[in-house]
Structure 1
Amino acid sequence: MFRIPLLVALALAITFGLGTASAVWALKATIGFGSIALGPWHAFPDAQTAGADPYAKAHRARDGALLFGSAEGLIFRAAQDSGGNALSGRCAYDIVGLTPPARLWTLHASTPDGRPVALAPGMPAGLNSWTTLREADGRIVVHVAPTAQPGNWLSIAPGQPFRLVMTLLDTPTAGSSGVIDLSMPSIKRTGCADA
């Protein structure tokens, strides 16, 4: 008597659970389609526009993040160095090169799920274009390491995986025509604690 309703309820619970799990997995797997990759840096210029694909819109709604308009800015993220190795808090890195044209850019480290890296008070959690020292040829050299470094230093949590996030504000590269000739600085691993 209760066998058929029980089987129907079990089938619905399994279907609902698997459907929810697959949707959450799909949202964590990508921000959407239409990404651009410049070395280890990735950006999704269409993610914040009205023409964004359904995955980008769902990702946007889940995160609840304030996004830039198409001409206001562009966010680049890097989870690997220029050699293709995952970024790790056991290693030190140098970000070297010219930055794209922008009125202001910021650089910080985040956890793999996008939250700010937890650092001790007084540690440099971020840099920007106004406070970063440049070389004579206009390049930047930013040392990313868990221990203090001379010059431009961005602190990371020791032993924890992280991502680098560079935000370009008021930049011509946010428009559809600016990303073709764009170049981003390289991310070079300079050493690891366990090597």
Structure 2
Amino acid sequence: MFRLPFLVALALLTTFGLGVGSAVMMLNASSGFGAIRLGAWQAFPDAQLASADPYARSHRARAGRLLLGSAEGLQFQASVDDDGRSLNPACLYEIRGETPPARFWTLFAANRELDPIVVDEALPSALNSRTVLRNADGSFVIHVSAKAQPGNWLTIPAVGSFKLVLTLLDTPAAGSSRILEITMPKLARVSCS
């Protein structure tokens, strides 16, 4: 007598559970479609637009973050180096070159949720276009490591995973249709301990 209602309820719960589970898994796996990759750096320029795909809009709503408008700036993330290897906190990395034209830019290490990582208040956990030391030609070299380095140094945690986040503010690259032609700084692994 209770067999049929039990089977119907089981089927509905299984269907509902699989549907919700697959939607949450997809939201965790992607920030949406339309990603551009320039070397190690990846950006989602359409994520903040009203015409963004449903996954990008859901990801944005779930994260509860305000994104930059297309005229305000563009955020790039790197979770791999230029050779495609995952960033490892036991390694020393160099970010070398120049950023695309921007009025101001920031660089920091972040966790998976893109929250800034502060290892110690006394150590440099972020750099920007005003504080970075430059070469005579305007280029720079930034060392990313858990151990202190000479020159521009961005500290990262000694264990765990991290991403690098480069935000360009007031940049013509954000609203440009030629965004794939911009030159990003190189992100290379120097050594590992």
Shift of 1:78: 0.6
TM-score, with length taken from structure 2: 0.96
Q: Which residue of 2 aligns with 1:167?
A: 167
Q: 1:119 to 1:49 in 2, by over 3 A?
A: same
Deviation by residue 1:5-26 (Cα, 9 ceiling, x = unmatched): 1111111111111111110111
Q: Which residue of 1 aligns with 2:30?
A: 30
Q: Distance in 1 between matches of 2:117 and 2:180?
A: 31
Verify: 1:87 aligned to 2:92, yes or no. no
The code of the aligned residue for 1:187 comes to L
Verify: 1:144 aligned to 2:144, yes or no. yes
Q: Secondary structure at the match of 2:173?
A: helix
Shift of 1:174: 0.4
The alignment yields a C-alpha RMSD, in angstroms, of 1.1
Q: Where do 5+ consecutive residues of structure 1 fail to align?
A: none
Equivalent positions of 1:103-182 (< 5 A) are: 103-182=103-182
Count of aligned pairs between the two proteins: 193
Shift of 1:137: 1.3
Shift of 1:190: 1.1
Shift of 1:97: 0.7
Shift of 1:116: 2.1
- Shift >6 Å, 4+ stretches: none
TM-score, with length taken from structure 1: 0.95
Q: Which residue of 2 aligns with 1:42?
A: 42
Q: Which residue of 2 aligns with 1:52?
A: 52
Q: Percent identity?
A: 56
The code of the aligned residue for 1:182 comes to I
Q: Does the aligned pair in 1 maintain the 2:36–2:180 contact within 8 Å?
A: no
Shift of 1:3: 1.3
Shift of 1:115: 2.4
